[in-house]
């Protein structure tokens, strides 16, 4: 059985002070039953991770911490980059890797993404590997070729055990931050396609890998998406910035 996972990707929003308030407010709105059903993750900016860690540990919260990016080297002359070990030391459990904004705005390649996935695993954390097609790719009928290629490249060289433990987020780029969501059927079909692609690489692992949907997920559409067999959770951007709204996404079955 795969446990659901809902992760808030705060992107470049929230100072460390705002983060403390957001984590605390979110925690007030969740209870034991929520954490039983869903692994709840917040991914604030790097500058807020330490503060988030402190609140989570001092208040004994079951919210887990994620980072939005990482570099693959352990240390060295890489001005401005953050090493996996630095994140692990802050009790970061998950790292978003290959988000479409990183790929499109900052030129991350499939090879970079694969190095990052391996580095995250090497530091004992769980990658959330993001894949997804642009609107033009969808319209020209190459969605599966694009997403399948990203999955293959991202998982290159991993063991079946590593693949079983990781998280893949299917995020159609045209749905990110646009208010347009993939239909439940389209999102479910693409999640199934991602799982089938993983099965080609590591058959026994594919039923364990958790697959998230991302792209304008909100309290109104989450239940329909979560009803799909192969969707095990969400990567939530805009709707994760308000604790009330994010809690409603997490409590989608209530």
* Interface pick for ligand PGA out of 28, 106, 177, 253 (rule CB under 6 A): 177
Residue 37 Cβ, how far from ligand PGA at the closest point, in Å? 20
Candidate segments 66-74, 146-154, 171-179, 219-227, binder of ligand PGA by CB under 6 A: 171-179
Nearer to ligand PGA, 143 or 216 (CB): 216
Q: Which of residues 129, 131, 217, 247 is near ligand PGA by CB under 6 A? A: 217
Query: b/e for 54-90, b at 16 or more Cβ within 10 A?
Result: ebbeeeebebbbbbbbbbbeeeeeeeeebbbebbbee
CA–CA gap between residue 84 and residue 177 (Å, rounded):
28
Phi, psi of 67 (to 5 degrees): -110, 160
* Active-site hit among 73, 99, 136, 161: 99
Closest distance to ligand PGA from the beta carbon of 100 (Å): 7
Q: Is residue 9 a contact point for ligand PGA (CB under 6 A)? A: yes
Minimum Å gap between C-beta 101 and ligand PGA is: 7
Determine whether 135 is an active site residue. Answer: no
The CB-of-75 to ligand PGA minimum distance in angstroms stands at 29
Binding mask 221-240 for ligand PGA (x = CB under 6 A): --------------xxxxx-
Closer to ligand PGA by CB, 51 or 240: give it.
240
The set of catalytic residues is 99, 171
The contact set with ligand PGA (CB under 6 A) reads 9, 171, 176-177, 214-217, 235-239
């Amino acid at each position: 059985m795969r446990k659901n996972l809902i992760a808030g990707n705060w992107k470049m929003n929230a100072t460390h002070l705002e983060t403390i308030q957001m984590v605390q407010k979110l925690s007030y709105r969740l209870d034991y039953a929520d954490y039983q059903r869903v692994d709840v993750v917040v991914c604030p900016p790097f500058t807020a991770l330490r503060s988030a860690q402190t609140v989570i540990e001092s208040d004994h919260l079951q919210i887990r911490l994620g980072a939005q990016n990482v570099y693959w080297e352990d240390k060295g002359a890489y001005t401005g980059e953050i090493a996996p070990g630095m994140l692990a030391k802050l009790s970061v459990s998950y790292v978003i890797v290959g988000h479409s904004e990183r790929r499109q705005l900052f030129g991350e390649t499939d090879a970079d993404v694969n190095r990052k996935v391996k580095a995250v695993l090497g530091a004992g954390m769980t990658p959330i590997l993001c894949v997804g097609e642009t609107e033009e790719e969808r319209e020209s009928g190459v969605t599966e070729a694009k997403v399948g290629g990203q999955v293959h490249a991202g998982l290159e060289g991993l063991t079946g055990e590593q693949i079983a433990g990781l998280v893949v987020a299917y995020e159609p780029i045209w749905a990110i931050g646009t208010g347009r969501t993939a239909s439940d059927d389209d999102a479910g079909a693409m999640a199934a396609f991602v799982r089938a692609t993983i099965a080609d690489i590591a058959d026994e692992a594919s039923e364990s890998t958790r697959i998230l949907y991302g792209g304008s997920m909100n309290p109104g559409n989450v239940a329909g998406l979560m009803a799909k067999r192969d969707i095990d959770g969400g990567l939530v951007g805009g709707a994760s910035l308000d604790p009330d709204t994010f809690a409603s996404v997490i409590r989608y079955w209530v």
